[in-house]
Amino acid sequence: MNKAVFFDRDGVINKERGDYTFRIDDFVINEGIFDSMRLLSAKNYLLFIITNQGGISKGVYSMDDVEKLHKHMLSLFVKEAIRIEKIFLCPHHHENESCLCRKPGSLLIEKALAIYNIDPLKSYFIGDRDRDIMAAQNAGVNGIKVESNQDITNICRSL
C-alpha cells in the first residue's frame, strides 16, 4: 500500500488572509512548502490537497475561479519538480447545504485512500484548523495541527 500526506490549502500551502483566496494575485505560497513537499516526495509519500471552498456555494466566487487558481498553484509545484497527485475540493458551505465532503467530513480523504491504495495508518493530514484534524481522524489518518502560515519543514522532516 502507498503512504500519503494530505495538506489543507489555505493557511498550510498558501497564506491565510482572513478572507477567501480565489484570485491569483492574492495567492502567496507559504515559506518552506516547496522544501517540505520535496522532503516528503523523497520519502515516497504521495501528496494531496484537501480544501473546503465554501465561497462557491455562497456565490462569492465560481468553480472556474478555483480551477484557474489551482492550475496556477500546480504550475508553481511543477516548476519546483513537485508532483501533487490530486486536489480534492468541497464546493459546499454548511449555511447552504449539508454534505459529506466538507471537512470535518472525511469523504474526500476516504476517496483518495481508496483510489490510490493508501494505508491510512502510514499517512498524515497537515492542517491549521480543528476541522482538518477531525477529518483526518474520521478517515483513520494521523492529523497534525499547525499554526496558520507556519513553515512546516521541520514537521515534514520528522515524518
Query: Residues 6 or more apart from 71 whose CB is under 8 A from it?
Result: none
Q: What separation in angstroms does the CA of 114 have from each of 21, 99, 119, 120?
A: 29, 19, 9, 10
Strand partners, 3: 45
Active site residue 10: yes
Catalytic residue among 10, 65, 130, 132: 10
Whether 19 is catalytic = no
Catalytic residue positions, numbered: 8, 10
